[in-house]
Amino acid sequence: MPSSPKPSRGTAPRGGSTRGGSSRRGAPTKVSKPFPWGTAVGSAVLALALIGIVAYAAMNQGSGIPGNISDPDSSIEGVQVADAAALGRTHVNGPVTYPTLPPSGGDHNAVPQQCAVYTEPIAPERAVHSLEHGAVWITYQPSLPKEQVEQLADKAQGDPYMLMSPVAEQASPIVLTSWGRSLQVQTAGDDRVDDFVSAYRNGPATPERGAACVGSTATGPLVAAPAGVPAAPASPPAG
């Protein structure tokens, strides 16, 4: 029988191996990845920040920080609360004699004072109507330093529920007033200014909460009806 041809010298059979070596490929070398320190550190910092925010909010609950005031009548030092039953809400014509200036409520003119910053005195009868709609009224003595007046104006300017005007007769350099509430402070930098605004602007004690603070932009006191001219009849509160 014819014999199978012998493989030539130096050629390894298919699937075989050459002398002194192997045709099999070696296992791939494992490359270790570096630990992601940046991601780990960033996550830890974020977690600590969140824990700090939660702890800070819990510690300051009800302490007078804007947005966290649960009982401002008690937690904001110096707030004076009027007897709600003594605050009339009837629309009247002409001037009203209020027990305090600025007044924090009572009978008032049928036209509210437009919420804005005024550099001249405004009629308290109209300002009280704005308080009934949720406004906070910042008043100041004319002798208050200009920089403090400007600081207060920055808080009130453009806010639809903020009034500001001078009141020469008031006892304190600055008074903040909302319906049934008032606070006397000495300087515009007092932290209680922001606390009062945050707590009482359109606050829960507002009789007509959310009603628009729009109306008259006139300055100066209301003028009584001339003698011999009958005043229009008073009307019940209509907003």
The pLDDT of residue 193 is above 70: yes
Tally of structural domains, the chain: 2
| Share in percent of the chain as helix, strand, coil (round to 5) | 25, 10, 65
Residues 56 and 126 in one domain: no
Share of the chain above pLDDT 90, in %: 63
- Using a 10 angstrom Cβ sphere, with 0-12 exposed, 13-18 middle and 19 or more buried, the burial of residue 65 is middle
Report whether pLDDT(65) > 60. Answer: no
- Note whether residue 90 is domain-resident: yes
CATH number at residue 103: 3.40.30
pLDDT digits (tens, 9 = 90+) for 118-141: 999 999 999 999 999 999 999 999
pTM: 0.69
The pLDDT value given to residue 16? 47
In a domain, 89, yes or no: yes
110 shares a domain with 169: yes
Is residue 123 located within the same domain as residue 59? no
Domain range for 171 is 77-200
pLDDT at 33: 61
Q: Over the stretch 71-128, which tens digit does the pLDDT of each residue have?
A: 999 999 999 999 999 999 999 999 999 999 999 999 999 999 999 999 999 999 999 9
Q: What is the mean pLDDT of residues 138-164?
A: 98
Domain contains 154 = yes
pLDDT beyond 80 at 191 = yes
Specify whether 56 is located in the same domain as 134: no
Least confident of 82-86, 186-190, 196-200, 234-238: 234-238
- Let me know if residue 1 belongs to a domain: no
**Tokens 């005195």, residue?**
121
H or E segment to which residue 53 belongs: helix 37-59
Whether residue 109 is found in the same domain as residue 60: no
Supply 200's token pair: 């009482």
Q: Residue 56's pLDDT is what?
A: 42
How far is Cα 107 from Cα 189, in angstroms, rounded to an integer? 32
Looking at the structure, do residues 91 and 195 belong to the same domain, yes or no? yes
Angstrom distance (rounded) from CA 207 to CA 131:
9
| Residues 97 and 148 occupy one common structural domain | yes
Which pLDDT does position 123 carry in this prediction? Answer: 98
Specify whether 62 is located in the same domain as 83. no
Considering the domain architecture, whether residues 111 and 180 belong to the same structural domain is answered as yes
At 18, the pLDDT band (50, 70, 90 cuts) reads very low
Q: Flag the least confident range among 2-6, 102-106, 194-198, 202-206.
A: 2-6
Q: Evaluate whether residue 235 is within a structural domain.
A: no
